Amino acid sequence: MDGKIRADIKKGVEVLIVLKKDQKTGNLTQGIVKDLLTSVPKHHRGIKVRLEDGQIGRVQKIIGE
């Protein structure tokens, strides 16, 4: 799953996100979702989340639970 639909992402799920500083390079950061920050059901660049380590970015891929 590509992380563009909010219903696909739950707290505790492992994901790959792109941080704001990495948007140009496309470097991905792996982590566990702590909070969902995007309130709309769907977002074309990916749902914005906060990881358990505090980093914030847009989900590019959902790895699993």
Q: Domains of the chain, with CATH numbers?
A: 6-64 (2.30.30)
pTM: 0.92
* pLDDT tens readout for residues 26-64: 999 999 999 999 999 999 999 999 999 999 999 999 998
β-partners of residue 61 are 16
Among 29, 40, 52, 35, smallest CA distance to 7 is for: 40
Residue 10: CB atoms within 10 A of its CB come to: 11
* pLDDT tens readout for residues 2-25: 899 999 999 999 999 999 999 999
Residue 35: CB atoms within 10 A of its CB come to: 11
User: In which band, very low, low, confident or very high, does the pLDDT at 65 lie, cut at 50, 70 and 90?
Assistant: low
